[in-house]
Amino acid sequence: MNDLISLAFSAFIIENIILTQFLGICPFLGVSKKKSSALGMGMAVIFVIIMSSTITWVLYQYVLVTLKIEYLRTIIFILVIAALVQMVEIFLKKISPALYKALGIYLPLITTNCAVLGVAILNINNGYNFIEMLVYSTFISLGFLFVMYIFAMIREKLDYAPIPKAFRGTPIALIVAALLAMIFARFGGII
Partner 1 sequence: MNQKENFLKGIFKENPLFVSVLGMCPSLAVTTTLENAIGMGIAVFFVLVLSNLIISLLMSSEKLRQLVKPVRIPVYIVIIASLVTIVEMVMHAYLYSLYVSLGVFIPLIVVNCIILGRAEAFASSNKPLDSVVDGLGMASGYTLGIMLIAFVREILGQGTLTFWGSAQLDLHFLFDFLKIQPLDMFTKPVGAFVTFGFLLATILAISNRKQAKAAERRAEK
Q: Given the rule CB under 8 A, which residues bind partner 1? A: 19-26, 29, 71-75, 78-79, 82, 109, 111-114, 116-118, 121-122, 125, 164-167, 169-175, 177-178, 181-182, 185
Q: Which residues of 9-23 are buried (b: 16+ CB within 10 A; e: fewer)?
A: bbbbbbbbbbbbbeb
CB of residue 147 to partner 1, shortest distance in Å? 12
CB 134 within 8 A of CB 28: no
Indicate the residue among 1 and 105 with the shorter CB distance to partner 1.
Answer: 105
Indicate the residue among 72 and 131 with the shorter CB distance to partner 1.
Answer: 72
CB of residue 8 to partner 1, shortest distance in Å? 20
**Torsion from C-alpha of 62, 67, 70, 76, nearest 10 degrees:** -70
Helix (H/G/I), strand (E/B), else coil: 119: helix
Angstrom distances, CA of residue 71 to CA of 54, 59, 120, 121: 19, 13, 14, 12
Indicate the residue among 51 and 173 with the shorter CB distance to partner 1.
Answer: 173
CB of residue 170 to partner 1, shortest distance in Å? 6
CB of residue 98 to partner 1, shortest distance in Å? 25
